[in-house]
Chains A and B, each alone.
Chain A
Amino acid sequence: MTVNGWLQILVFCGVLILIAPLLGGYMAKVYTGQRVFLSWLWDRPEKWLYKAFGVNASHEQDWKAYAKSLIIFSLAGWIILYIVLRTQSIQPWNDFGGVAFHAAPWNVTFNTTSSFLTNTNWQYYGGETTLTYFSQMVGLTVQNFASAGVGIVVAIALIRGIANRSSKSLGNFYVDMVRTILYVLLPLSFISALVLISQGSIQNISHYVSVHGISGLAQTIAMGPVASQEAIKMIGTNGGGFFNVNSAHPFENPNGFTNFYEMLMVLAIPASLVFTYGKMVGSRRQAIAVFAAMFIMFFGAVTVAYAAEAGGSPAQHAAGLHTQVIANSTGGNLEGKEQRFGIAGSALFDVVTTVTSCGAVNSSLESFTGLGGAVPFANLSASEVIFGGVGTGLYSILLYVLLAVFLGGLMVGRTPEYLGKKIEAKEIKLVALGLLITPLTALFSTALATASAAGRASIDTAVTGSGPQAFSETFYAYLSQANNNGSAFAGYTGYDGTLGNLPPAHGLTFADLLGGFTALFARYAPILFALAVAGALAGKRVSPAGLGTMRTDNATFVVLLIGVIILVGALTFFPALLLGPVVQALTGHLYK
């Protein structure tokens, strides 16, 4: 570890803490219908959009109506994306990659469609070798906006449920969606895309460039509208790279500054929404408590990942490499990492994108050390509540808050209350179901994939072999898809890449379908439970806080909350973690 490495990490944390309350306050205004500085620009377009959608903006929805709109909207998005991806052969610009791109087979397309719809952005395909610019823009970029919007509006609906004292209304799904995109996602994306281009990210609709290098060797350089997609991919915590290697590609992430900027974009909305929450329920202290719990876990994860990667890997030590920092060299485990990011920039990026549901990577997770690789596992095991995805992080941690309140209530022997609202049997059942469904889906899918020959076909036996790494790879695949993260131990495959994009390329149906269904189920079931909780809390009477009321905005509660999150995650995942990353972290043994 180096002083400079720590400086990068601390500056990043400092900037995050500075911008979160600002952006959070802005978003609170957006969702309470107040005027903001962008109102002069969007007032009219907003009304046009409601008209074009055929939506009555003043119509208020209870949780069932809100959920119904959300599900049907998602269904429409799924169908359109699937059609876009399957019609590549008739799309414009489809031969810009040198050959005409055909559509991927149905099974891979099912996986891709489901994963982009759910903000997972798992990639069983290589962007530059299989997708047209048209699919990237009209298919994937659109869902980057829409799926991020869906996550955010659910969080907003849950906040309204907690805040509303007399009304059962959670707002209007389409209004929240439109305001999210116009006032939050689009302006941030547009500016960020230009920032990225200024640093070297590409943005064009050109043929791939064929060159002869200076020693005469031919090289083809993939092009495309990269920056526009990169920006929303980070801001919406989507994570689906334009290129196969995602943010490790120099055109997606050209230098140390863009690396910092992209990380900040990933955490910007999830961190800010906590303060939006504080504003909307009228308690800044409440927001700070939740933020503190998230931040403490985040910082712990960064420390472990950085220390582990700086220490080097058993394979490096066996090869006789010197992994300490020496002059002018990064040292550490630089396997699968880029020189310009180094160890600190890669470890921090890894933690930032796995605590959120982003799942973008700027280095190869599969090549992280056992302990360094255990950090993304741990982050996913915490069900993405450490900041988490846009919206999903907040609504998930609020479910944990309710659970912690319930447990605290049991300990002190009082009816649990949160912000004056009684937490009763009905709410706590919904909370428990909402929290357990994602881990259970992940474990069930992993078990299915590990126990069946069809599932094991996805393991990259040539490189990974059959040791604990093979299990880690499988487990991570379903843990990631269930948490809608999308990062991968990328040896695990659902697409026969050796055949490229030309027919008869085929997907691995089992992995494609299981992954797709895992992502869909673990996305929409918790959303429904979160909205149901919102519905149950909305309109509940508020009793004034008394002397015996358990405080939920002090250090004790922060500790309780972290304890509950770690306990649930650890109890659920510990046996599985032991078989994979823990074995790798504890041994210097090499496996074939």
Chain B
Amino acid sequence: MRRDLLTAFRSMIVITILFGLGYPLLVTGVGQVIFPGKADGSLIKRDGAVVGSALIGQQFYENVIGANGKVEMSKGEPVTQPDPKYFQTRPSGTAPADNAAGSSFANYGPNSTVTLAALQGNVTTYLCMNTDVPYTTCDSKGFSASDTLYDPHVTSANQVPVDAADTSASGIDPDISVANAKIQAYRIAAVRHLSLATVDRLVAEYTTSRSLGFFGEPGVDVLELNLALDRISNGSH
């Protein structure tokens, strides 16, 4: 028995050193040499500063300006709202939203009233931003409805793409569907004074097609798209 124990511990310790340190560090070394940018998280820089990762969703929010012209505060934190000049990512189940240091599912069940309420909330937010349907719950966003501002086909929940209403799995989904992007494109074009064709062209440019033509689903990388938008309309924002 003592001999068996000795063998077991000796082998586990050897395995621990070889596969707990040797293997991951070897992969780290090789990975860092061959794919340095990717191994470090596909980080994106703008003007020398890292602004995020191409693979990680982030929030595109602005501070709410109160009636007195100052940033509204709540509990010492500025109150924020989705920034209409940026494409918006999918709903997130992390706290706070798009928390890349604490990923989490929302765990909304299929037959739950809690899920229904969450979906309705997401749909309302989306319609508020992307239609001129008068919703009592909509805040004034500082830009008024006009015929050219919104996708005329989107009038109710029935036209909202599921990815815009459903919470993502990781809470940091970097992508939205092409349908979702095309609806938001109307708003972006109006707010940024760009032609719809220009924005649509950018959407097409930043659409990742299916891997090898058929694995997965096409998606639009929101951070990269927003960065490209900023480059085009530099000076107008």
Contact with A along B95-106 (1 / 0, CB 8 A): 000111111111
* B187 located at the interface, meaning its Cβ lies under 8 Å from any Cβ of chain A in the complex: no
Q: Give Cα A201 to B27, complex, Å.
A: 12
Find the B residue at minimum CB distance from A319: B119
Chain A contributes a number of interface residues (CB within 8 A of B) equal to 138
For the complex formed, measure the closest distance between the CB of A498 and the CB atoms of chain B, giving whole angstroms.
9
Interface string of B3-41 (1 = CB under 8 A from A): 011111111111110011101111110111011001111
At the interface, yes or no: B230 with Cβ under 8 Å from chain A? Answer: yes
Please give the distance in Å from B213's CB to the nearest CB on chain A. Answer: 9
Which one, A108-116, A286-294, A308-316, A426-434, is touching chain B? A308-316
Min distance, Cβ B61 to any Cβ of chain A, angstroms = 6
Tell me whether B159 and A193 are in contact (CB under 8 A): no
Task: Say yes or no: B42 contacts A200, CB within 8 Å.
Answer: yes
Residue in A146, A203, A326, A346 whose beta carbon sits within 8 Å of that of B179 in the complex: A326
Q: Within 8 Å CB of A217, what residues of B?
A: 58-59, 61, 80
Closest to B43 in A: A209
User: What sequence of 0s and 1s flags, for each residue 65-98 of chain A, a beta carbon within 8 Å of any chain B beta carbon?
Assistant: 0001100110111001000000000000000011
> Does A373 reach chain B (CB closer than 8 Å)?
yes
Name the distance in Å between B116's Cβ and chain A's nearest Cβ. 5
Indicate whether A463 sits within 8 Å of B34 (C-beta atoms), given known contacts A250-B170, A260-B215, A340-B175: no
A265 to B39, CA, bound (A): 21
User: Which partner residue on chain B sits nearest A45 by CB separation?
Assistant: B18
1/0 contact string of A443-487 vs chain B (CB within 8 Å): 000000000000000001011110111000000000000000000
Interface of chain B: mostly helix, strand, loop or mixed: mixed
- With contact pairs A221-B41, A221-B101, A322-B158 given, residues A592 and B113 touching in the complex (Cβ less than 8 Å): yes
Does residue A362 face the partner (Cβ distance < 8 Å to B)?
yes
Contacts of A141 in B (CB 8 A): 19-20, 23-24
Within the complex, which residue of A129, A257, A592 is in contact with B102, where a contact is CB–CB below 8 Å?
A129
What residues on A are CB-neighbors of B171 within 8 Å?
Answer: 245
Complex contact A223–B41 (CB within 8 A): yes
Mask: chain A, 200-220; 1 = CB below 8 Å from B; 0 = not: 111111101101111101011
Among B15, B25, B174, residue most surrounded by chain A Cβ atoms (within 10 Å):
B15
Query: Would B166 and A465 count as touching, CB distance under 8 A?
Result: no
Contact of A590 among B6, B26, B112, B211 (CB under 8 A): B112
Q: How many A-B residue pairs have CB under 8 A?
A: 433
**Least distance between A371 CB and chain B CB atoms (Å):** 9
A229–B178 CA distance with the chains assembled, in angstroms? 33
B180 at the interface (CB under 8 A from A): yes
B172-197 with Cβ < 8 A to chain A: 172-180, 182
CB of A194 within 8 A of CB of B30, answer: yes
In the bound assembly, the distance between CA atoms of A251 and B101 in angstroms comes to 12
Given the contacts A55-B7, A336-B106, A369-B110, A256 and B217 also touching, CB distance less than 8 Å: yes
Question: In the complex, are the beta carbons of B174 and A211 less than 8 A apart?
Answer: no
CB-based contact A213/B51 at 8 Å: yes
A341-372 contact mask (Cβ, 8 Å, vs B): 1 or 0: 11001100000000000000111101111101
B206 on the A face (CB < 8 A):
no
Contact A137 B20 (CB under 8 A): yes
Q: Is the CB of B169 within 8 A of A328?
A: no
Q: Is A567 an interface residue (CB 8 A)?
A: no
Assess whether A318 is in contact with B116, with CB atoms less than 8 Å apart.
yes
Most buried by A among B4, B41, B218, B219: B41
Knowing A334-B166, A335-B108, A367-B109 are in contact, say whether A222-B101 is a contact too (CB < 8 A): yes
- The answer to whether B131 has its CB under 8 Å from any CB of chain A is no
Contact with B along A126-157 (1 / 0, CB 8 A): 10110000000111011001100000000000
Tell me the complex Cα distance, A80–B10, Å.
11
What residues of A have a CB within 8 angstroms of the CB of B159 in the complex?
322
Asked if A97 and B156 make an inter-chain contact with CB atoms under 8 angstroms apart, the answer reads: no
Contact A213 B162 (CB under 8 A): no
Q: Indicate whether B226 reaches chain A with its CB closer than 8 angstroms.
A: yes
Q: A4 to chain B: which residues have CB within 8 Å?
A: 210, 214
A323 interface residue (CB < 8 Å to B): yes
Q: Is the CB of A591 within 8 A of B101?
A: no
The verdict on B67 contacting chain A, using a C-beta distance below 8 Å, is no
Verify B35–A368 contact, CB threshold 8 A: no
> How far is it, in angstroms, between the C-alpha of A369 and the C-alpha of B103 when the chains are bound?
22
For A326, give the chain B residue with the smallest CB separation: B179
- The 11 sampled A-B contact pairs (Cβ below 8 Å) are A137-B24, A145-B15, A200-B54, A211-B43, A212-B51, A215-B60, A219-B100, A228-B28, A248-B105, A260-B216, A315-B113
Seen from chain A, the residues whose Cβ lies within 8 Å of a Cβ on chain B are 4, 7-8, 11, 49, 52-55, 68-69, 72-73, 75-77, 80, 97-98, 126, 128-129, 137-139, 141-142, 145-146, 174, 177, 181, 186, 189-190, 193-194, 197-206, 208-209, 211-215, 217, 219-223, 225, 227-229, 231, 243-245, 248-251, 254-260, 312-316, 318-323, 326-342, 345-346, 361-364, 366-370, 372-373, 460, 462-465, 467-469, 489-491, 584, 587-592
Told that A212-B51, A336-B108 touch, could you supply 18 new A-B pairs with CB distance under 8 A? Answer: A53-B14, A80-B12, A126-B104, A128-B101, A190-B27, A197-B35, A198-B35, A213-B59, A221-B52, A243-B170, A245-B171, A322-B159, A340-B173, A341-B217, A366-B105, A462-B114, A463-B107, A591-B113
